[in-house]
Amino acid sequence: MNFADIILLILIAGFAMFGFWFGLIHTFGSLVGTLLGAFLAGIVYAPMGNWLVGITGWGQNISYVVMFVIVFVFVNRMVGFGFWIIEKSTDIVTKMPFIQSMTRFFGTLLGIFEGLITVGLVLLFIEVFPLSSVTMAAIEDSWVAPIAENTAGMIWPLMPDALDSINNSIDAIQDNLL
């Protein structure tokens, strides 16, 4: 287990604790936010990343990754907040002893799933726009990363066509160079 695995496991455990703490309804909303956030971030990361390059002078890849993560997290949290409001309206039922235990248990499971999807999407995005060689080597040596990437791969088809065309362009360039 390398340092990347420890970081990834801490992140996924954070999602699990979030699911336990907030319960099933809020965590389900957060999962919906994850899906919507990934979709919207996939649409706007390039123009926003180019804007970030212009004002910071950072490299294009790091700017794309930073803007993808910012938009993704923002949309995710806003949708999660909406579901939190819905959850508050159902408190009378969900606070009953047995129901509360069940909602926390299933919230934890859903939180783990959401954590795997979120971490996996970020890792897949980083693979499309590679960062430093040290970061890429740590991800390659990780045993958690492939599990998260495979889980996120289930929703990768929901990502906008722009990512697919970028990925195909990278593959074509690599094929021509080799």
Handedness of CA 122, 30, 81, 18 (dihedral sign): negative
- Decide: residue 74, CB within 10 A, 0-12 exposed, 13-18 middle, 19+ buried: middle
**Domain of residue 134, residue span:** 3-176
Residue 95 CB: number of other CB atoms within 10 A? 11
Closest CA to 159 of 117, 131, 130: 117
Number of domains the chain contains? 1
Closest CA to 128 of 64, 85, 83, 49: 64
Per residue in 42-99, pLDDT (tens digit) is 889 889 999 999 999 998 888 988 998 899 899 988 998 888 888 888 888 888 888 8
Name the one residue in this structure whose structure tokens are 């695995």: 5
pLDDT band (50, 70, 90) for residue 175 = low
Tokens (6 digits) for 136: 């890429």
The pTM for the full model equals: 0.72
Per residue in 132-170, pLDDT (tens digit) is 888 889 999 999 999 999 998 887 676 665 555 555 544
Q: What is the pLDDT of residue 164?
A: 56
Which regions of 85-153 does DSSP assign to beta strands (E)? none
Closest CA to 67 of 82, 54, 78, 80: 54
